[in-house]
A and B are shown apart, each in its own frame.
Chain A
Amino acid sequence: MIRKIILLFLILLMVNISYAQSSSNYTYQIYQELKLNKNRKELFELPRFDSRRITGLAYSVFVPGSGQIYLGHYTKGSAFAVTFFTSLVGAVVSQNNFIGNRERIQTLQFDYLNSDRYTLADYYWKQMVSVHNEQKMHEKTRNIFTAITIFVWSLNLVDYLFWTVDKGPVEFSYKSDDNFGHIFSIAIPLN
């Protein structure tokens, strides 16, 4: 009789333990899912805008990449800035050459129309055709560089708005990697 009672007790105990175990697993799964959902971020989810983000946005609008640098993303910000300014310089140089070609064509056209002989007129005409072809090439280059500039500027803003998280203000500290450095250092927030 005592054996039966002990056996029944053990069975009940096992059932109880197994239920508790399964319940614990279930709760743990729910907890994990909740945690994942909490950490999951949408691709185009706007982060909370505080004063730092607004300042960075103003930087990024006028100097692409500077907003990212302001928020602590130095490599990405530098890449944006370098690409933007390189393509901008390319566009400006091409536009300058384009205008130069246009003025040269105007001068050649005047000379061409005033030529009093075929050989001279033909010389000016060939020059005009050559400069005109150059001008077309500069127009294409300018358009390509302008498109790249606008694309990089827009991408910079999109990146800033949706994909750049704030790493916090940078603090200047003497010997910050040393454990004792914190004790004997002065921390000055840079931004």
Chain B
Amino acid sequence: MKKIKVLILILAIIIVGCSKTEDLISPYHFTVIPKVTNLKVDAVDTTRTGKRRVIMSWQMPDTTNLRYFEIFRSQKNPDNYKIIVSNYQSFVFADSALPIITDSLRLFYLVYPIGTKTDIRTGTKVSFIGPPSDTLIVIVNRR
């Protein structure tokens, strides 16, 4: 009788231990800040001092949680992106600090929107880097 009780106890532990798969939490990162859209080159021209310049613009479907933008540039997609401007709050940007151009130059740009999210531990608002824009490819000739 004692053995049967032990056996029933073991079976009960096994059955209780077989828990079900818990559901995942609902994702938050899709809705914190939207992606930059319609990133395009407006013009590739020369400044008054003779430097080459790329003027680009973009749009945001919702700016409720937007604080500023960060713009990245690379000469070799998809690696080696370097930040060229931070805390930028306009939708148009002119890049006149281009690398040295021997003949022609292929440049890749990315724009990141920066917003805020609520920290789960402290409950305070913290910075959140949003999704990157589609890559903008610009070919700049020497003159």
Chain A: residues with CB nearer than 8 A to chain B?
58, 61-62, 95, 98, 102, 105, 109, 112-119, 121-122, 125, 128-129, 132, 135-136, 139, 142-143, 146
Which A residues lie within 8 Å of B129 (CB)? 116-119
Closest chain-A Cβ to B114's Cβ sits at a distance in Å of 9
Given contacts A61-B7, A62-B3, contact A117 B24 (CB under 8 A): no
Distance, CA A113 to CA B129, complexed state (A): 14
**B126 near A116: Cβ-Cβ < 8 Å:** yes
B128 — nearest CB in chain A belongs to which residue?
A116
**B25 near A122: Cβ-Cβ < 8 Å:** no
Q: Would you call the interface of chain B mostly helix, strand, loop, or mixed?
A: loop
A61 — nearest CB in chain B belongs to which residue?
B7
Contact for A113 among B18, B33, B120, B131, CB less than 8 A: B120
Which B residues lie within 8 Å of A122 (CB)? 29, 131
Which A residues lie within 8 Å of B3 (CB)? 58, 61-62
**A115 near B29: Cβ-Cβ < 8 Å:** yes
Instruction: Give the contacts of B104-143 with A (CB-CB under 8 A).
Output: 120-121, 126-132
Closest chain-A Cβ to B21's Cβ sits at a distance in Å of 5
**B21 near A143: Cβ-Cβ < 8 Å:** no
Given contacts A102-B22, A105-B24, A125-B29, contact A118 B130 (CB under 8 A): yes
A136 — nearest CB in chain B belongs to which residue?
B21
Closest chain-A Cβ to B133's Cβ sits at a distance in Å of 11
Contact for B25 among A109, A118, A136, CB less than 8 A: A109
Distance, CA A122 to CA B25, complexed state (A): 14
Q: Would you call the interface of chain A mostly helix, strand, loop, or mixed?
A: helix
A137 — nearest CB in chain B belongs to which residue?
B21
- Residue B20 interfacial (CB < 8 Å): yes
Given contacts A114-B120, A115-B29, A118-B130, contact A142 B18 (CB under 8 A): yes
B131 — nearest CB in chain A belongs to which residue?
A118
A139 — nearest CB in chain B belongs to which residue?
B21
Q: Known contacts A113-B120, A118-B29, A142-B18; can you find 7 more A-B pairs with CB under 8 A? A: A62-B3, A95-B18, A102-B22, A105-B24, A115-B29, A119-B129, A129-B24
Contact for B24 among A58, A119, A121, A132, CB less than 8 A: A132
Distance, CA A58 to CA B7, complexed state (A): 11
Which B residues lie within 8 Å of A119 (CB)? 129, 131-132
- Residue B97 interfacial (CB < 8 Å): no
The 10 closest A-B pairs by CB, nearest first: A117-B129, A121-B29, A118-B131, A113-B120, A139-B21, A135-B21, A136-B21, A118-B130, A132-B24, A125-B27
Q: What 0/1 readout, one digit per residue, does chain B (19-52) give for beta carbons within 8 Å of chain A? A: 0111011011100110000000000000000000
B29 — nearest CB in chain A belongs to which residue?
A121
Closest chain-A Cβ to B56's Cβ sits at a distance in Å of 21
Which B residues lie within 8 Å of A132 (CB)? 21, 24
Contact for B17 among A95, A109, A113, A125, CB less than 8 A: A95
